[in-house]
Structure 1
Amino acid sequence: MSSPWTNSMAGYFPSVWDVLKVRYLLQWKLSEGFPAELVDEIIDAAEYWPSTEHHMVEETERRVILNDQDQVLLKTVPLCYSRKSLEESSEPKPLPHRGLHPCRKITFHLSSHDQGTKGFGLRADRYTASWTWFDTELIRGAHTRNMYVNGEEQELLHNERGQVRQHYGPKDELLLPRDNKVQVNGKHMGNLQNTIVVWHYQDKIHSDSPEAHEIEGTKGRGRSTLDGRYVRELEVGDSIALWARARFPGWRNYVYKATVRVFWAL
């Protein structure tokens, strides 16, 4: 879901200062001024929110995730915090925000493909039985966990770099792509797939609805990510880890780019 204003300003992402200035003008500089509640509605309708963007950083041109050697591609800076403040202060203060759950939107930009196989193309069932995918792991209260030390990001999760090959049994919840996956690669497609996935706080597609099942089958998205719950429940200080995964012999997840942008209201 997006507003006409957002579409007309593609590529423009306001800073915290930009949003504070607009709020000030709407509330105090008009002839009569708008009440704070109406200003909130105007800001949200325009999706005029500050955001932070997080990139997969690689020295090489791509990262290859092998069977059962899942890797964290990136971890977002804790919601409503700046990396600089987390690095420089033992008691960092959050950036301005509105409410206990200020997150409004999360966008994922992925460039990837699996190992590819000749003879396969844009099949209707390309997301069925595809064993390379992306999902997220929530890190609660990441702002308290010394995420950055001496300018270096620290590992907070087990086996983030896939150093040790894991064994996933039949009952392991990570054996196969789950309903909360961000995106599945089209199977047996060696050509680069560029995908944009948007999670919005106003999304309301129930995971068991026919629409959700259709989106999962035709777009490769997780159907439980379509109701906006993951955005609405994000708390100040939380971080999101983006995992790339691959299963079964011969399957590989080739990742060329991964970017996550997190928007919040103030």
Structure 2
Amino acid sequence: MPSILTTAKTRFRGLFNNHGRNTLTQPWTTHDANVALYQCLSTSNSHRPALPNEIILQILDHPSRWIQLHSVKLIAVAAHEPLRCRSNGPQHGDWQILVTDPVSGRVIKKLRKIVYSFRGQDQGWSDYPQDHGTYASSWTWFEAGLTRFEDKNAQGEELRRQKDLRAEKERDRYELHRNRHAGLKPEDYVIELGEEHDLLKRVEEGDRFALWARAVFPGWENRVHKARIEIRCVDDLSNG
């Protein structure tokens, strides 16, 4: 006797034909489950009436039903060769290490959360042993913010305008987390920014979410082993 899951997949296989993907043999995504949920709740049966669309959409807007719309990640070449962001390097301790694709107006309407995750460590030593192993007087950290790229074909006044806009976007940043002072090993951090955060309130069409690694004062170094930015949105049941 076929399982309930197999029966459901067979019944709704037309809904799950996402660009030729065979969901009868491949794992369901959250989007697939959301489509099935909508189909079930919007259809009446002998035990209950169909739910109004407004209620179903509220259910789909629960955090457990949000989907990952876009993700970018940075991985060091090897565990012993992280990206070394030095205070006296060419970026003067201010390294933009990860940037998403530009967001559209449609994505902004669906946007619910940005998740920054990274594995970092400082240089592993300092002249302040009383602060070792703590976050006190730690001068390496990570920041979130917005940015834009200039059009490669822009020239003259238009290019200056685009550069000014980029500088304006990057002016306001938000500290995410500091590395442990003289940390003996890299540590993982996950920071979630929701709709109430200023970063999401400020985003406009064409903006990109960015991650910076920071280090200040001579000798300080932010060693980034990996990093990731995820854009999570409410599912409007479309394929994009």
State the TM-score bracket (shorter-chain normalisation).
0.5 to 0.7
What does residue 255 of structure 1 align with? 224
**Cα distance in 2 between the residues matched to 1:254 and 1:242:** 14
Match of 2:57 among 40, 43, 68: 40
- The yes-or-no answer on 1:234 pairing with 2:228 is no
Matched with 2:103 is 79
Which residue of 2 is the match for residue 66 of structure 1? 86
Runs of at least 5 residues in structure 1 that lack an aligned partner in the other structure: 1-11, 81-93, 147-155, 159-172, 202-226
Asked if structure 2 preserves the Cα contact closer than 8 Å seen for 1:199 and 1:228, the reply is yes
Cα deviations by residue, 1:128-168 (Å, 9 ceiling, x for unpaired)? 3321111123135x7x957xxxxxxxxx989xxxxxxxxxx
- The one-letter amino acid of 1:71's match is W
The equivalent of 2:74 in structure 1 is 56
Q: How does 1:128-139 map to 2 (within 5 A)?
A: 128-139=136-147
Larger Rg: 2
CA RMSD of aligned residues (A): 3.5
The answer on whether the counterparts of 2:133 and 2:182 sit within 8 Å (CA) in structure 1 is: no
Residues 231 and 47 from structure 1, CA distance in 2 versus in 1: closer, same or farther, beyond 3 angstroms? farther
Deviations for 1:195-247, whole angstroms, at most 9, x for unmatched residues? 1111122xxxxxxxxxxxxxxxxxxxxxxxxx523234434543111111111
Cα distance in 2 for residues equivalent to 1:250 and 1:181: 21
- TM-score normalised by length of structure 2: 0.62
**In the superposition, relative to structure 1, how do residues 184 and 44 fare at CA in structure 2: closer, same or farther (>3 Å)?**
same
In structure 1, how many angstroms separate the alpha carbons of the residues matched to 2:42 and 2:221? Answer: 53
Does structure 2 conserve the Cα–Cα contact (< 8 Å) formed by 1:19 and 1:50? no
Q: 1:62 to 1:42 in 2, by over 3 A?
A: same
* DSSP-derived class of the 2:190 partner: strand
Letter in 2 for 1:62: P
Are positions 1:102 and 2:110 aligned together? yes
Q: Partners in 2 of 1:19 and 1:182 — Cα distance?
A: 31
The one-letter code matched in structure 1 to 2:71 is: E
Moved over 6 A (4+): none
* Partner AA of 2:42 in structure 1: Q
Runs (5+) with no aligned partner, structure 2: 1-26, 153-161, 165-169
* 1:26–1:34 Cα change, 3 Å: same
Judge conservation of contact 2:118–2:190 (CA < 8 Å) in 1. yes
Q: Which amino acid aligns with 1:263?
A: R
- Whichever structure has more helix as a proportion of its residues is 2
Kept in 2, the 8 Å contact 1:101–1:232? The answer is no
Matched residue SS, 2:175: coil
Count of paired positions = 183
Distance 1:254 1:42 in 2: 41
Identity of aligned residues (%): 23
